[in-house]
A and B are shown apart, each in its own frame.
Chain A
C-alpha cells in the first residue's frame, strides 16, 4: 500500500495557479527527491499536502487515511529561511518543539522529553551546542538542529524542504547518513533537493516537478537528460552550455 497518494492536486496563490493536476504516489521505505527550478512549486506542494496552504481541488491521503488521523506519523522540516533565527531560544528548545504535539494541552515538557531531545541532538552531532542561542549557530548547524527536531518526532513519513541547501560536505554527509538510516528502518522520506549532480547518488526515487509532475519514479529510469531538460525548460540548457 502506498504511504502517500496524491490525486489531481491543484493549488494557487490568489489567482496565480502554482500547482496543476499533481498526481503521484509514494511507496514505503523510499527516499525521494523533489527536483525542479526555483518557483516550480516544490515548497508549495509540501505545504498543500500538509494542509498548511489550501488546495483548490484534488486529494491527498496518508497511509490510506486522512492527514488529520495520521498527523503524528508525518514529520515536516521547513525551509531554513522560514523561521526567525533571532528568536530567544536555544538549540535544545527548538528540538523540544518537535515533541510539543505529544506533550499535550496544558502540560509542560517533562524530563523524558528533554532527554529525548538531547539524544536527538547528539545523533546529529550537536550535543555541545544544546544551550547555544540559535542565531549563533552556523547555517549547517541550524540545519542539523532542524533535522534533530524532525527525528525526535519519530514519524513514519518525512517531508524536508532543502535540508542540504547551504551546508558543507561534512554536514551533507551527516544528513545523508541519517536519511539512509531512516530508510533502513522502513521510513519514507521526501526531500526537496537542488543539486542535480547528487540526485542519482543520494535518492532512489525522483519527482520532477514544474507546476505539474514532469516525471516520477525510480531515479535511474526517470532522471534522464530529456526529463530534466523538460523540467527546467531553457534555463538549464543555457546554464549547462555556459559552464561547459
Chain B
C-alpha cells in the first residue's frame, strides 16, 4: 500500500474506534474521564518502556491499561472519600501525567519517546515502522495494533451492549437485577485505555480526546436510538480522520490537529443542521408557530 493509503487507513481506524467508545463515554457523562485517561496512560507507557527497555506497542498497551484503570480506581476512591468528581479527576490525571513527564525527561532521553510526540502524535512516522506478517506482508505496527483494538472494541460492544446500555441509563436498576455495575465500569475503562494507547502514536494524547468526544457528541444530535448513534459516531470519526488528513495536506499543517479540527466542523454542522436539536431546525419551528 502507498504511504498515503497507510496514513488514511490508520487515521480511519482511530476515528472508528474512538467514535464507538465515545458514544458510551458521553452517555455515561464521562467526557472528562476520557481527558484524564488520555493523559495518564503516558505514565503506563513510560513505565512499560523503563521495565522492558524496548518500545513495543504490546508492552505499552499493557502499561496503558494498568495506568487507565489506576486512574479510574483513584478517581472513584477520592470521590467516595468526599472529593467532588471533577476535582478528583483533575487531581488524579494531572498528577499521573506530571510523573510521566518527569520520567520521560529524566529517565528515558530517547528520541522515540518525547513529550511533544506523546501530546501531539506523529502519524507521518507510522508507515515507516513496519513489521512483517507471514500471511499478509509488511504492515505498520501502529496500524496492526489499531486493527486488533478495533476488533476487540467491536466484539466488546456486541457482547456487552445491553449491559453498558442499562448501566449507563439506570445503574440502580442494573444493580438491582444483578448486573455487576462496577465490573462493567472497569471493563469499559480498560477498553477506553487500550483505544487511547492505540491511538497515541497516530494522534497523541490531546487530539485523542477530540476523537473520543466530538464525533459522539455530534451523533447524539441526530438520533434517538443508541444503535444508530454508534453507527453515526463511528462514521463521523472516519470522515473527520480522512477529511482532517486532506485539510492538513492542503494547509500544510499538523495532521492530528487538522483531524481534531475536522471533528469540530462535523460537530458545528450537526449543531446547526440536525433535525432534532439543531439550531436552524429550532429556528424554523419557532418561525412556523
Q: Chain A: residues with CB nearer than 8 A to chain B?
A: 14, 47, 50-52, 71-72, 74-76, 78, 82-84, 87-90, 94, 97-98, 100-101, 103, 106, 108-109, 133, 149, 153
Contact = CB atoms under 8 A, between A and B. Distances in A.
B172 A87 contact: no
Contact of A88 (B29, B82, B163, B224): B224
Given A75-B176, A88-B27, A89-B169, 12 more contacts: A76-B172, A83-B169, A84-B169, A88-B220, A88-B226, A100-B166, A100-B174, A100-B177, A101-B178, A103-B162, A108-B161, A108-B162
A97 B175 contact: no
A59 B224 CA distance: 42
A78 B177 CA distance: 13
A82 B226 contact: no
B252 interface: no
A100 to B, nearest CB: 5
Interface in B121-171: 159, 161-163, 165-166, 168-170
A236 to B, nearest CB: 29
A48 to B, nearest CB: 12
13 contacts: A14-B82, A51-B175, A71-B177, A76-B173, A78-B173, A84-B29, A87-B226, A88-B225, A89-B165, A90-B225, A97-B170, A100-B162, A100-B163
B282 interface: no
B229 interface: yes
Given A71-B177, A89-B165, A100-B163, A78 B172 contact: yes
A149 B176 CA distance: 13
Interface in B161-208: 161-163, 165-166, 168-170, 172-179
B227 to A, nearest CB: 9
A176 to B, nearest CB: 22
B208 to A, nearest CB: 24
Interface size class of B (residues with CB under 8 A): 20 to 34
A107 to B, nearest CB: 8
B177 A89 contact: no
A167 B177 CA distance: 26
Chain B interface, >50% SS class: helix
Interface string B207-234: 0000000000000100111101100000
A89 B166 CA distance: 11
Contacts of A87: 27, 168-169, 226
A76 B176 contact: yes
A98 B177 CA distance: 8
A101 B27 contact: no
A71 B173 CA distance: 11
A127 B224 CA distance: 18
Contacts of A72: 177-178
A98 B178 CA distance: 11
A100 B27 CA distance: 19
A199 B228 CA distance: 45
Contacts of A94: 169
Please indicate which of the listed interface residues B165, B166, B173, B177 has the most CB atoms of chain A within 10 Å of its own CB.
B173
Which has the most chain A C-beta neighbours within 10 Å: B27, B168, B175, B176?
B176
Contacts of A153: 177
B289 to A, nearest CB: 17
A78 B220 contact: no
Contacts of A84: 27, 29, 169
B231 to A, nearest CB: 12
Nearest to A106: B159
A192 B229 CA distance: 36
Contacts of A88: 27, 220, 223-226, 228-229
Most chain B beta-carbon contacts within 10 A, residue among A52, A90, A100, A133 = A100
Given A52-B175, A100-B177, A101-B177, A89 B225 contact: yes
A52 B165 contact: no
A101 B224 contact: no
Contact of B172 (A47, A74, A98): A47
A149 B163 CA distance: 16
A83 B27 CA distance: 11
A141 to B, nearest CB: 16
B224 A90 contact: yes
A149 to B, nearest CB: 8
Nearest to A90: B224
Contact of A50 (B29, B165, B166, B175): B175
B272 to A, nearest CB: 20
Given A89-B225, A89-B226, A97 B173 contact: yes
A89 to B, nearest CB: 6
A183 to B, nearest CB: 21
Nearest to A132: B224
Q: Which 4 residue pairs are nearest across A and B when measured between Cβ atoms?
A: A101-B177, A133-B224, A76-B176, A71-B178
